[in-house]
Amino acid sequence: MVHAISASRSAAHSYFEGDDEAKARGLFQLLADDGTPIDEQGLAGFDRELSRQLFEGMLRIRVTDARMMALQRQGRIGFYGEAMGQEAAVVGSAAASAPEDWIVPALREAGVGLYRGMTLDAYISQIFGNATDVTKGRQLPCHPCDREHHYVQMSSCVSTQIPHAVGIAMAMKIQGHTGRCAIGFMGDGGVSEADFHVAMNFAGVMKSPVVLICQNNQWAISTPGHIQTASETIAIKGLGYGIEPLRADGNDVFAVYETVRYAAEKARRGDGPSFVELLTYRVSAHSSSDDPTRYRDEKVTEVWRHQKDPLRRMEAFLKAKGWLEAGEREALAAKLETDVREAIARAEAAGPPAVETLVDDVYEEQPWHLREQLTELLAADRVKSPHSH
């Protein structure tokens, strides 16, 4: 469910009234690492219900990721990429999006889809590439999509999401669909790709109704941020394209929400694009195929895993407010885990897509050579009974 809260003005909100250079070099925060409010007034608009909903969204990602990684290690799925440590950036952005907006995700934003209403069944079916996967098992795991909730399937090539998001935004503008925007995501590695520069330039010149969000998790597989770019911050790159830069603590779900909300409202009003850097950290490995102990100091990771953990921060805030009882997190995690396990059981029971779907969706009428190949394939022993191994 997507929430709208009323705007509140506070000392922290003066961040948004600063000049662009200050925004690009600054860091917008509402909650300290330990969960104490930096700015009570800035947090005034977040009631118990919304705060708990944000926490639940973050916890769902944490629980789901852990389960899916376990499945990968058990050989039940082929690949997985976690968003551990980045849950606040994901959920804060999702909560600030509106149902009519379109989301163009990169690798770590499945939680945006889930927060907007994509079901766990849809998500997990895609990971299995099974018969209930709407994309018929044609993509690598971690490429979910959901048309109803305006969540586009990721293109695997780094940074292609940016021209896609700008293109969708331009299509909305040309079709006169005002009052909505496209929200495109990338990682810090994405900003070194040509697509990023092309799309940023285009969005700036055309005043596209788009919010481009860089989850700066400080690593692009084994490439650290200081090798990725010589730029002072990532947000500051927006200046060169005439795009308003914004920079927020990506582990502070409230700061993320307010920053993306500011940018999205501006885009929906027709006042042009923003480039948002969310500073966070990739606590997990890049993916199930990666071993970060080979290239980074995991003592640094431990700081982000514990002291800077976005869930711990939010839990401390909620408890101090009296909005989360002792033991409630554990109970909620157990319930979310049950949801995931049940969805996994359904996904596994569904089995693989029918072999015939291999040749679907390309030609309106199947050409003779595909019919011939399909007949041959169906006659092959290993294809006849996909479950018998």
Ligand X SMILES: Cc1ncc(C[n+]2csc(CCOP(=O)(O)OP(=O)(O)O)c2C)c(N)n1
Which residues, listed in sequence order, are joined to residue 182 by a DSSP beta bridge? 102, 210
Q: Give yes or no for residue 279 binding ligand X (CB under 6 A).
A: no
3-class secondary-structure state, position 324: coil
Instruction: Tally Cβ neighbours within 10 Å of residue 307.
Output: 11
Q: Is 295 a known active-site residue?
A: yes
The yes or no reply on residue 221 touching ligand X (CB under 6 A) is yes
Measured from the CB atom, the residue of 38 and 220 that comes closer to Mg ion is 220
Residues 6+ apart with CB under 8 A from 156: 139, 140, 143
Residue in the block written with tokens 């469910």: 1
Piece of 7-15, 17-25, 45-53, 154-162 that binds ligand X (CB under 6 A)? 154-162
In the set 67, 149, 286, 313, the catalytic residue is 286
187 binds Mg ion per the rule CB under 5 A = yes
If the CB atoms of residues 190 and 204 are measured against ligand X, the closer one turns out to be 190
The vertex-239 CA angle with 89 and 152, nearest 5°, equals: 40
Residue from 39, 65, 188, 258 in contact with Mg ion (CB under 5 A): 188
Q: In sequence order, what E strands does the chain have?
A: 102-104, 182-187, 210-216, 219-220, 223-224, 244-249, 274-279
Under the binding rule (CB under 6 A), the answer on residue 141 touching ligand X is no
Applying CB under 6 A, which of residues 107, 142, 162, 181 lies at the interface with ligand X? 107
Q: Quick one: which of 247, 255, 313 has its CA closest to 30? A: 255
Catalytic one of 9, 295, 306, 341: 295
**Measured from the CB of residue 298, what is the shortest distance to ligand X in angstroms?**
16
Q: Which stretch binds ligand X (CB under 6 A): 58-66, 188-196, 240-248, 272-280?
A: 188-196
Place of tokens 């929400």: 257
Told to check if 227 binds ligand X by CB under 6 A, we report no
Size of the site for ligand X (CB under 6 A): 16
| Burial track 263-290 (b if 16+ CB lie within 10 A, e otherwise) | bbbbbbeeebbbbbbbbbbbbbbbbbeb
Euclidean distance between CA atoms 270 and 210, whole angstroms: 10
Catalytic, 286? Answer yes
Q: Could you tell me which residues are beta bridge partners of residue 247?
A: 277
Q: Which stretch binds ligand X (CB under 6 A): 4-12, 141-149, 214-222, 355-363?
A: 214-222
Residues with catalytic function: 282, 286, 295
Q: Which residues bind ligand X (CB under 6 A)?
A: 107-108, 156-158, 186-190, 217, 219-221, 282, 286
Q: Which residues bind Mg ion (CB under 5 A)?
A: 187-188, 217, 220
